[in-house]
Structure 1
């Protein structure tokens, strides 16, 4: 019950900021519940596929999702994530621990620069522009490889890409990222499963908590002031990285 309750609280946070939350789940499982790093990576990434479904549906109902871009980015992210999971299997656990923490710190820094120092570049998207779809494919592959290799959902990288490359608003990037994470996590989960790095009983407990929490948390994205949303998006991967260093 302790794991389920902890995951419910984390799920509310993930739904609110539009993240699958694999990085935070990995940190909590390894630090507080002594789960081996590879097993934590595989289990959290697989759980994220189910967690993100409830959050993505809720964001879609709230009008925060660009469906076409989400599906294209997500489809290619799934392929990249599967390959990344195979790569992670050959990286030593100690090195992977530090690399995952480093990626979380980097994602938080990039989000901080984008949200607080760069101008809002959001605009209407020309869906007939082939450059838009090429950027979507590139973003999907990049996010997928990062997610599969380091076990993180790479939500910050996806959100940055959606805002900078594809000119979505912050709320659109939050909702669309939740959609992207669904196929991304499925691809990575299959990759980790093929390497024997998923604990199904632990997966069930993580799922019960995070899926329920994510649906509820998504309801607050349009209610809470933007400065609070921006701060939460940045502080979440930072806190996960700090935990992994202990």
Structure 2
């Protein structure tokens, strides 16, 4: 029951900040899940894979509610989603398969390096200047493959990559955010399947695991994050988001340092 309560609390916090700041829940879920799994005595060689796979599966559920909300406001550019989705699906599935072959420590180091970049980007409030147009079908396929592969390796919905890319390509910010929310769904689905398949024959996984997805944590985190994400979205209109974003980035850096220290 203690661990279930921890998963519920984690889902609530991750969902709230996802709605408040428009960031993927994986930024919080992965390092905290890795710490919780380690505390429960899960095999060290599977810690990061389970944290990544479980977080990616939870994003499937939260991305649906986010997608619906942005679509209702007319902020999703579906032609972009259609053109980038094939590359997203291929890149994310391949990235998850590749992640299953990487030992926990190198995977943790890559996750820490990338999420540190995301955190510093939030602290500095870096935004690319619109300077070009969207590429053609082949270019969108390549971009989607890259976004999908990296998203799978760090269990995020892709917003930290797709939003800057679309902004750079003269897509309005609110449309870039809404379209990124829609792109997050195929990323989460393909990534979840990739981690399921990648861990299907892994030995020593804890009970109630399917591949690299730990079902009790998935159920608790997904349920609570779907509940609190709308609260975060509403709070975004009343709270000092710029200040909270910097605090959130600082919390991410602390969690990353704790996770990396524990794994190394």
TM-score (norm 1): 0.82
Pairing of 1:49-198 with structure 2 (within 5 A): 49-110=60-121, 115-116=125-126, 118-119=128-129, 121=130, 131-164=135-168, 166-194=169-197, 195=199, 196-198=211-213
1:75 and 1:112 mapped to 2: Cα distance? 33
2:14 matched residue in structure 1: 10
Are 1:216 and 2:220 matched, yes or no? no
Superposed displacement of residue 175, structure 1: 2.0
1:13 and 1:198 mapped to 2: Cα distance? 23
Superposed displacement of residue 32, structure 1: 4.2
Secondary structure in 1 matching 2:213 = coil
Q: Which of 214, 219, 228 is 1:204 aligned to? A: 219
- Whether the aligned pair in 1 keeps the contact of 2:56 and 2:188 (CA below 8 Å) is yes
In structure 2, the CA distance between the partners of 1:218 and 1:47, relative to structure 1 (3 Å rule), is same
- Whether the aligned pair in 2 keeps the contact of 1:101 and 1:245 (CA below 8 Å) is yes
Superposed displacement of residue 151, structure 1: 2.9
- Whether the aligned pair in 2 keeps the contact of 1:53 and 1:182 (CA below 8 Å) is yes
Q: Deviations over 1:69-125 (max 9, x none)?
A: 134334421221100111111111111111111111123345666x44654x289x7
- Whether the aligned pair in 1 keeps the contact of 2:93 and 2:152 (CA below 8 Å) is yes
Q: Deviations over 1:142-193 (max 9, x none)?
A: 11111223333332112211211x3223332222211111101100100110
In the alignment, structure 1 segments of 5+ residues that lack a partner are none
2:12 and 2:184 mapped to 1: Cα distance? 18
- Whether the aligned pair in 2 keeps the contact of 1:107 and 1:157 (CA below 8 Å) is no
- Whether the aligned pair in 1 keeps the contact of 2:26 and 2:154 (CA below 8 Å) is no
- Whether the aligned pair in 2 keeps the contact of 1:122 and 1:168 (CA below 8 Å) is no
Superposed displacement of residue 139, structure 1: 2.4
2:178 and 2:236 mapped to 1: Cα distance? 9
In structure 2, the CA distance between the partners of 1:51 and 1:230, relative to structure 1 (3 Å rule), is same
- Whether the aligned pair in 2 keeps the contact of 1:25 and 1:44 (CA below 8 Å) is yes
2:191 and 2:240 mapped to 1: Cα distance? 33
Aligned residues: 238
- Whether the aligned pair in 2 keeps the contact of 1:19 and 1:178 (CA below 8 Å) is no
1:147 and 1:225 mapped to 2: Cα distance? 28
Superposed displacement of residue 202, structure 1: 1.7
Secondary structure in 2 matching 1:90 = coil
1:37 matched residue in structure 2: 48
1:19 and 1:91 mapped to 2: Cα distance? 26
TM-score (norm 2): 0.77
- Whether the aligned pair in 1 keeps the contact of 2:17 and 2:232 (CA below 8 Å) is yes
